[in-house]
Amino acid sequence: MAVKFFEKLSNNYLELLDDKEDFNIVINVGKSADTKILRAHSTILRYRSLYFRNELANIGKDKNNIKTLDLKNITSQQFDYYQVKIILLENNDDLFIFELMLIAYEFLFEELAKYLETHLVESKAHWLRLHFTTVYQKSF
């Protein structure tokens, strides 16, 4: 009989995200007033996102074998959502969720992007119609 231990594996994975010792990527997120420095694991980033796989392939390492990635086009609050364990959309305004979806598409987090898109279409259609101009401009 095969037994699957995915819950324990998932918990170990979440602990790895918080591990500050064995990181090999430093990510500078946000603009100067809102800059946040995050530490990450290239293995996780590469397997979760084709965007990060491509970016990390083109970045050299420093003397400590660490790669540094600058993401100034998003806020630290938005990036925090890509490291979350549970997504609570109810606590955020609709524009934030829409921008989060756009960034998820940019980073090629397809599962999250599709989830946010579905949430907006099914639960926030009124907001999308009300802010059509903003949605149209940011989409292109």
Q: Are residues 55 and 93 in the same domain?
A: no
Residue 82 is assigned to a structural domain of this protein: no
Q: What is the pLDDT of residue 48?
A: 81
Q: What is the pLDDT of residue 119?
A: 92
Residue 110 is assigned to a structural domain of this protein: yes
Residues 81-87: contacts with CB within 8 Å, 24+ apart?
82/107, 82/109, 82/112, 83/17, 83/38, 85/14, 87/112, 87/115
Residues of the domain holding 136: 87-140
Q: Are residues 57 and 91 in the same domain?
A: no
What one-letter code names the amino acid at 25?
Answer: I
More confident residue, 100 or 75: 100
Q: What is the pLDDT of residue 126?
A: 94
Residue 44 is assigned to a structural domain of this protein: yes
pLDDT in tens, 39-88: 888 888 888 888 889 999 999 999 988 999 888 888 777 776 665 545 66
Q: What is the pLDDT of residue 121?
A: 94
Q: Are residues 93 and 66 in the same domain?
A: no
Nearest in space to 138 (alpha carbons), one of 89, 105, 91: 105
Alpha carbon distances (Å) from 126 to 103, 123, 131: 22, 8, 9
Residue 140 is assigned to a structural domain of this protein: yes
With bands split at pLDDT 50, 70 and 90, how would you rate the model's confidence at 131? very high
Q: Are residues 52 and 3 in the same domain?
A: yes
CATH number at residue 28: 3.30.710.10
Q: What is the pLDDT of residue 77?
A: 73
Q: What is the pLDDT of residue 87?
A: 63
How many domains does the structure of the chain reveal?
Answer: 2
Q: Are residues 1 and 27 in the same domain?
A: yes
118: buried, middle or exposed (CB in 10 Å: 19+, 13-18, 0-12)? exposed
Distance of CA 125 to the CA centre of its chain: 24
Position 102 pLDDT exceeds 60: yes
Nearest in space to 41 (alpha carbons), one of 59, 55, 21: 21
Q: What is the pLDDT of residue 26?
A: 87
